[in-house]
Each structure stands twice: as structure tokens, then as C-alpha cells.
């Protein structure tokens, strides 16, 4: 893809205009390129990628956020990159989740046997966990869907599963995916996260896995960092992009999209894919069509997830393993990964890059959260980390644009089509199961399926 200025744009050269160049927009453009189509991307910021990007600080290569990519073997995000990038990107699988509750550490049990030996609770708690674990692991997707309008906490209470340690650990796992606590997360989305399923397997297969184990982590870290992926995707896309191009209007006439206005330039086109957050769309879409007005208005209060990521450059290797270590207590929940153990190229030789993520709590600033994480979990359980910090960098931004709460599950979100002909929507708040990049990729796949044969 080539960078041009807005006054160089000749819209007749493109098969579609893509408004916004985040993960959803870029992956859509990548798929269109493979079908021989040419795109024009209009991006408000001074770089491509949206919240999907990375940069360097003092010799350490950081991502925007602690990106553990889910479903690196079977998911849409990895599928896009494997299909279109040559050589395909490499993902290193992580070695599991380790939850610390005060002095005790345990993994997520994947079999009945492991559950009955779970070190984090007493015998009663283990039996309760075995019962609810079996129920969740063998639950059919349709049954989960029935719980989309209640919270996970409500679901657990209705099942009598109220062991506090079990709830706290589940909360920590779900927090990282849904971006909200279990008192707010949709039970359907939480159940899917815990069962780790997009597609249904039979009850018998689920039961077999439950008893005999064999669950393999399908989450990993991309070697080379997020920015290298964004750069490779950008290089392959056929078309042009304009940076600092704020889309001010997308105009409809007689039910059909006719133009996009950016920086005061009216760019006429009959196919537009918008990767702009849905909460901005009511102010951008210019339409006389009541159905379209109502459609976009419905989403203008979409709730997003907000995280704080702390990056610590350590002057020597302190943690040095490929685990997701979650500190459940003391609060706040903090999730830490030694990025340089997966990919040594992100830290200077002999040093370690540690990513620590937490959720931005209401009424707190990112600095408050850093202080809390350091003074609570890190100081108590990993004081050696604090003693070896030579680089410290804090980020805070939205992660996904739709928190997985009742009313915003993938079943509730609008999907790629809009009531305006030729206008499609893509991004983590449109539709697409999963979280983060997986959601963005699923939404891009949805748009590509619809555009097939239409342009």
C-alpha cells in the first residue's frame, strides 16, 4: 500500500473505500487484495493499525497492550496471516495460566482428576468446581446462548456455585477477556471463554476431553511483535492510504451510500467499509432514512474495555518462563508475562521485558493502578522484579470496543450489514465471536463474505 495525500485521491481507481485502518479495516483490505480488489484507506491518526501497533522504548520493543493472541492454530486472525503472509508469522505457544491466590498457586484444571486435586480450595470447593466444571465443559452452544442476558455471577449463583476462591479465579480469567468483572460479564460470553469454544463439539467429545484431558493451549505470542505484523499486512495490501484523514461524513442518498467526506474533501463511492467505532457513527452517517438513523443510534453508547499495561525492562532475566502468571489476591488482579522469553528480540541481550496488565478501575488513574499493582502483588510475590527495573513505560487505552456484557454479546451486535446499501461495518464492536484481534478478524471475514460477488 502506498501513502498519498487527500488531494491526490481519484476514487474511480478503487473497488472500495475503507474508513479507519484498525485491525478490522486492515484485515478486510488484506482479504480484498487477495481477491484482486484495490482499496483506499482513510485513517484519522498519523499511523495505521488503530490500537493494534507497537513501538520501541530505550532499546525494548513494546506492543500496545499485552497481546496474547487467542486461537493461534484455528482462529480467524492467525488464518488471515497464514493465508496471506509469506513466510507466515510464527507464534510461540504459552505454557499455561498460573493463578496465585495469596500464598497458593494453581493452574486452570482441565480434567476431573486435576480438579479434584486443585490446590487453591478445600475439599468442598473442589467438589463444587468439579460439578460446575463438568457442566460448563459439556454444555452445548445453544444452551450457553440462553444465558446471554444474565451476568456470569448470576449464572453461578443459580447453579449454587458460590465458592469464593473459585469465583475469584474465574473472575481473573474472564476479566482479561471481557474487560469487566463477573458481576457484569455476560454469562454466555464467559461460558464460551471458559469452555474455549467457537464451534460446537459433541457432548461426548467434550466429556472425553474433560475426563482424559488433552486440552492444549491455543494461545501464543507473535514473534517480531505487533508492529511487524501491521507492517507486513500494510505492505501486501493493494491500494493507497491517507493518514490524518478524519472521516467527517458518510452520505446516503435513496438508500445507497454515495460518498465519504474527509478533511472537507467529498470522495464519491458506492462501496464503503467503515472501521470507525460504532459509537461515533450516529454523528458521521448523514441519512434521511429513519431505519438507518435508528440502527446507528442504537449503538452510540457501546461500552468498551479499558486496560492499563505496564512494561518493565529488567536489567537481567528475573522471571524467564512462558507462563501467564495471574495474581488474583491481593487485588487488583494483575496478569504478567515475560515477553522476551517468548521472543528474545524484544529486549537487549541478557535483559528481560515483562508485561503486566490490569483493568483500569472506575475512579482510578493509570498511575493509581501502577502504584497498586507494584505495592500489592509485585512487592509481595515478585520483589526481585521491582529491584531490577531499568525501564518503565505505562499505556492505557481501550482494548476492544464492545465489552462482553449483556446487550453487547456477539449475538446482540449488528453484524456487517447496515440498512444503507453499499455501507458495511467492521471492527470489534460489530460482530464476530471471540475477543480482541480474533473479534476483529471474525468481523473482517463477515464483511468479506458479503462483499464476495458484490464488488
Ligand X SMILES: Cc1cc2nc3c(=O)[nH]c(=O)nc-3n(C[C@H](O)[C@H](O)[C@H](O)COP(=O)(O)OP(=O)(O)OC[C@H]3O[C@@H](n4cnc5c(N)ncnc54)[C@H](O)[C@@H]3O)c2cc1C
* Distance between CA atoms of residues 150 and 146, nearest Å: 9
Interface positions, 87-146, toward ligand X (CB under 6 A): none
The reply on whether position 44 binds ligand X by CB under 6 A is yes
CA distance 62 to 226: 8
Name the residue with the smallest CB distance to ligand X. 22
Q: Does 423 bind ligand X (CB under 6 A)?
A: no
Q: How far is the CB of 84 from ligand X (least distance, A)?
A: 17
Taking CB under 6 A as the rule, does residue 178 contact ligand X?
Answer: no
Length in residues, the chain? 455
- Minimum distance between the CB of residue 95 and ligand X, rounded to whole angstroms? 16
In the complex with ligand X, the residue whose CB is nearer, 353 or 399, is 399
Q: Which residue in the set 64, 110, 115, 193 belongs to the binding site for ligand X (CB under 6 A)?
A: 64
Q: How crowded is residue 10: how many other Cβ atoms within 10 Å of its Cβ?
A: 10
Q: Which stretch binds ligand X (CB under 6 A): 101-109, 132-140, 202-210, 427-435?
A: 427-435
Q: How near is the Cβ of 247 to ligand X at its closest, in Å?
A: 4
Containing 324, the helix (H) or strand (E) segment is strand 324-329
Q: How many Å apart are CA 292 and CA 125, to the nearest integer?
A: 51
Least distance in angstroms from the C-beta of 104 to ligand X: 26
Contact between 330 and 373 under an 8 Å Cβ cutoff? The reply is: no
Q: Tell which positions 382-411 bind ligand X, by CB under 6 A.
A: 397, 399-401
Considering the complex, state which of residue 27 and residue 314 has its C-beta at the smaller distance from ligand X. 27
Among 52, 296, 335, 424, binds ligand X (CB under 6 A): 52
Show the binding pattern over residues 216-255: x = contacts ligand X (CB under 6 A), - = does not.
------------------------------xx--------
**CB-wise, 280 or 289, nearer to ligand X?**
280
| The one among 121, 309, 409, 442 contacting ligand X by CB under 6 A | 309
Cα 341 to Cα 321: distance, rounded to the nearest angstrom: 6
- Side-by-side strand order, sheet with 256-262: 265-268, 256-262, 247-253, 285-286
* Residue partners of 418: CB distance under 8 A and separation at least 6: 292, 295, 296, 424, 425
Handedness of CA 272, 273, 274, 278 (dihedral sign): positive
Looking at 16, 17, 61, 67, which residue binds ligand X (CB under 6 A)?
67
Say if residues 427 and 438 touch (Cβ distance below 8 Å).
Answer: no
Shortest CB 141 distance to ligand X, Å: 21
372 touches 329 (CB < 8 A): no
Q: Which C-beta is closer to ligand X: that of 327 or that of 435? A: 435
Under rule CB under 6 A, residue 307 binds ligand X: yes
Identify whether the C-beta of residue 52 lies closer than 8 Å to the C-beta of residue 64.
yes
Residues of span 245-304 touching ligand X by CB under 6 A: 246-247, 275-277, 280
Burial (Cβ within 10 Å: 0-12, 13-18, ≥19) of residue 362 = exposed
SS3 at position 83: helix
Whether residue 31 contacts residue 273, with contact meaning beta carbons closer than 8 Å, is answered with no
Q: How far is the CB of 372 from ligand X (least distance, A)?
A: 17
Q: Does 22 bind ligand X (CB under 6 A)?
A: yes
From 9, 18, 21, 29, residue interacting with ligand X (rule: CB under 6 A)? 21
Residues that bind ligand X (CB under 6 A): 19-24, 42-45, 50-52, 64-70, 246-247, 275-277, 280, 307, 309, 397, 399-401, 427-428, 435-438, 440
Amino acid at each position: 500500500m502506498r501513502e498519498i495525500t487527500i488531494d491526490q485521491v481519484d476514487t474511480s481507481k478503487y473497488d472500495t473505500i475503507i474508513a479507519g485502518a484498525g485491525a478490522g479495516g486492515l484485515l478486510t483490505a488484506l482479504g480484498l487484495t487477495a481477491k484482486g480488489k484495490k482499496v483506499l484507506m482513510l485513517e484519522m491518526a498519523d499511523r495505521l493499525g488503530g490500537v493494534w501497533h507497537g513501538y520501541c522504548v530505550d532499546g525494548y520493543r513494546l506492543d500496545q497492550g499485552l497481546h496474547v493472541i487467542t486461537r493461534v492454530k484455528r482462529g480467524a486472525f492467525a488464518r488471515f496471516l497464514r493465508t496471506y503472509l509469506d513466510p507466515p508469522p510464527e507464534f510461540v505457544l504459552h505454557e499455561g495460566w498460573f493463578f496465585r491466590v495469596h500464598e497458593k498457586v494453581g493452574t486452570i484444571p482441565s480434567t476431573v482428576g486435576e480438579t479434584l486435586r486443585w490446590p487453591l480450595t478445600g475439599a468442598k470447593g473442589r467438589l463444587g468446581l468439579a460439578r460446575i466444571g463438568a457442566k460448563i465443559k459439556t454444555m452445548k452452544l445453544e444452551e450457553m446462548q440462553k444465558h446471554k442476558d444474565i451476568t456470569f455471577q448470576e449464572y453461578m449463583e443459580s447453579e449454587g456455585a458460590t465458592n469464593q476462591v473459585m469465583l475469584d479465579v474465574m473472575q481473573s480469567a474472564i476479566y482479561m477477556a471481557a474487560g469487566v468483572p463477573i458481576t457484569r460479564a455476560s454469562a454466555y460470553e464467559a461460558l464460551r471463554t471458559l469452555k474455549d469454544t467457537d464451534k460446537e463439539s459433541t457432548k461426548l467429545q467434550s466429556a472425553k476431553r474433560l475426563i482424559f484431558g488433552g486440552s492444549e493451549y491455543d494461545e501464543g505470542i507473535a514473534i517480531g511483535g505487533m508492529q511487524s505484523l501491521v507492517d507486513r499486512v500494510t505492505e501486501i495490501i493493494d491500494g493507497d492510504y491517507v493518514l490524518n484523514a478524519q472521516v467527517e461524513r458518510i452520505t446516503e442518498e435513496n438508500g445507497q451510500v454515495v460518498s465519504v467526506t474527509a478533511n472537507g474533501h467529498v470522495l464519491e463511492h458506492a462501496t464503503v467499509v467503515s472501521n470507525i467505532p460504532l459509537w461515533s457513527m450516529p454523528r458521521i452517517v448523514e441519512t434521511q432514512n429513519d431505519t438507518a438513523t435508528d440502527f446507528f443510534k442504537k449503538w452510540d453508547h457501546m461500552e468498551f474495555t479499558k486496560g492499563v499495561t505496564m512494561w518493565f525492562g529488567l536489567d537481567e532475566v528475573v522471571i524467564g518462563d512462558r507462563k501467564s502468571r495471574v495474581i488474583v489476591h491481593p487485588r487488583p488482579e494483575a496478569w504478567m508475562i515475560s515477553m522476551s522469553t517468548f521472543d528474545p528480540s524484544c529486549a537487549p541481550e541478557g535483559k528481560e521485558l515483562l508485561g503486566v496488565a490490569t483493568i483500569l478501575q472506575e475512579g482510578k488513574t493509570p498511575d493509581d493502578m501502577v502504584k497498586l499493582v507494584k505495592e500489592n502483588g509485585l512487592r509481595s510475590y515478585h520483589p526481585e522484579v521491582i529491584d531490577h527495573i531499568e525501564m518503565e513505560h505505562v499505556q492505557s487505552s481501550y482494548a476492544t470496543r464492545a465489552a462482553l456484557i449483556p446487550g453487547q454479546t456477539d449475538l446482540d451486535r449488528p453484524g456487517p450489514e447496515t440498512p444503507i446499501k453499499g455501507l458495511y461495518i467492521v471492527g470489534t464492536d460489530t460482530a464476530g465471536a471471540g475477543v480482541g484481534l480474533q473479534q476483529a478478524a471474525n468481523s473482517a471475514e463477515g464483511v468479506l463474505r458479503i462483499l464476495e460477488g458484490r464488488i
